[in-house]
Amino acid sequence: MQNLLSRVGNPALRQGIIFGVILGIVLIALNFFIGGIILIAGLTLVAGLLAGMRASRETGRTVTGALGGLWTGLFGLIIFVVIYFIFILITIDAQVKSGQQYANSQHLNITYTPSLIITSALLSSGILIVLGVLLGLAGGVIGGMMGRSRAQLPPPREYEEAMFEPPQPKTPAE
């Protein structure tokens, strides 16, 4: 995987892919045990911060860190949302039955259907992706400012005087 990612020349995209995949896998694993929007928000912010710090360390620019965080949030939440949506589709019948039992126990006049479950899953997925991109961007900006100060850039080249010499006026002897 290192050889594949070393071909990506843009440090923001490279760090975004690395930390986005890690974020997506961690969110999937922890969501089955803990769940919650606070977990998603916190982990996305931290992953964006780390990606932004590493990306801006390579270039010395805060913008690179912000883009690294943005890519991290986008890739991480897309991975999470795709797996989440597949889980919803697999368990759609159980979701409808559970929702209808809850609505009946609370005396709500709602009829749960698969289309209602899918629509709400799509809507919440879109909100999660936007939230992930914004939190990744925020973490990337913070990480970019931290990484910029720790950048290992080569020293600037010293000024060299021009080697051009103007032509000398011809003397009468020549």
Overall size of the chain counted in residues: 174
What digits encode the pLDDT tens for the residues 10-36? 888 999 999 999 999 999 988 878 878
Task: Output the pLDDT for position 167.
Answer: 76
Indicate the DSSP class of residue 60: S
The torsion angles phi and psi of 27, rounded to 5 degrees, stand at -65, -40
- Determine the distance from the C-alpha atom of residue 127 to the mean position of all C-alpha atoms in its chain, rounded to a whole number: 15
What digits encode the pLDDT tens for the residues 84-102? 999 999 999 999 999 999 9
Task: Output the pLDDT for position 174.
Answer: 59
Q: What average pLDDT does range 159-164 have in this prediction?
A: 67
Task: Output the pLDDT for position 38.
Answer: 87
Residue with tokens 């009829």: 111
Q: What average pLDDT does range 160-173 have in this prediction?
A: 72
Task: Output the pLDDT for position 5.
Answer: 55
pLDDT band at 129 (very low <50, low <70, confident <90, very high): very high
Domain chopping of the chain, boundaries = 8-148
**What's the whole-model pTM score?**
0.77
Task: Output the pLDDT for position 159.
Answer: 67
Task: Output the pLDDT for position 8.
Answer: 61
Distance CA 29, CA 33 (A): 7
Q: What average pLDDT does range 129-139 have in this prediction?
A: 94
> Which of 9-23, 24-38, 104-118, 144-158 is predicted with the least confidence, judged by mean pLDDT?
144-158
- Cβ atoms of 152 and 57 within 8 Å: the answer is yes
